[in-house]
């Protein structure tokens, strides 16, 4: 599992882990039913205290992203995780707030910003469409 910790992020370490695991699951890099590394292994890998991993896994379990199977380990939940709508909105809203503040500093209006968002989405669709096309062939 490819997770990295950034100490100067300002975000608590366990939250960084939670976010990154959620991202991995959401992007399909972690498949449902796949096993997550045990607490000890991940702690050794990241060089963090195991209690942080315990906290992170605990929170992921509460949000239903992962579940613990008695004695066997920790696995990604089978059903596509129903992250509370509020939770998903919250993540995106955080990004939007930061974006808006930055745009304001750089003297862009909200309309210019929305237009730029649409343009960027179109560009991204084009680049991701090609490999999928290649895969289909």
Partner 1 sequence: MEQVTVDINGLSRAFGSKTALHDVTFRATAGKVHGLVGANGAGKTTFIKHLLGLLRATGGSVRVFGLDPVRDPVGVLSRVGYLSEEHDLPEWMRVDELMSYTQAYHPNWDAKYARELLDTFALDPAKKIKELSKGMRAQAGLIAAVAHRPELLILDEPSSGLDAMVRRDILDAIVRAVADDGRTVIFSSHLLDEVERMSDHVTLLQQGRVAVSGELDEVRRGFQRSRIHFIEHFDKAPVLETALAMEGGGRAWSVLHSGSIEQFRRSVLARGGEIVESRDATLEEIFLASAGRDRQQKEAA
- Are 20 and 9 in contact by the 8 Å Cβ rule? The answer is no
Residue 132 in the binding site for partner 1 (CB under 8 A) = no
Residue 50 in the binding site for partner 1 (CB under 8 A) = yes
User: Smallest Cα–Cα separation from 63: which of 13, 22, 100?
Assistant: 22
**Helix axis angle, 85-105 relative to 110-136, nearest 10°?**
120
The Cα–Cα gap between 94 and 45 comes to 29
Binding-residue pattern over the window 82 to 121 for partner 1, x denoting contact by CB under 8 A = ----------------x--xx--x----------------
Among 23, 29, 34, 40, binds partner 1 (CB under 8 A): 40
Sites of contact with partner 1 (CB under 8 A): 5, 7-14, 39-40, 43-44, 46-52, 98, 101-102, 105
């Amino acid at each position: 599992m490819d997770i990295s910790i950034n100490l100067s992020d300002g975000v608590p370490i366990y939250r960084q882990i939670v976010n990154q695991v959620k991202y991995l699951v959401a992007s399909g890099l972690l498949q449902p039913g796949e096993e997550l590394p045990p607490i000890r292994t991940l702690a050794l890998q990241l060089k963090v205290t195991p209690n942080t991993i315990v906290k992170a896994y605990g929170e992921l379990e509460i949000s239903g992203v992962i579940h613990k199977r008695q004695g066997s380990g920790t696995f990604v939940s089978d059903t596509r995780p129903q992250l509370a709508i509020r939770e998903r909105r919250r993540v995106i809203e955080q990004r939007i707030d930061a974006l808006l503040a930055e745009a304001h500093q750089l003297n862009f209006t909200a309309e210019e910003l929305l237009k730029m968002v649409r343009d960027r989405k179109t560009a991204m669709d084009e680049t991701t469409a090609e490999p999928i096309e290649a895969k289909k062939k």
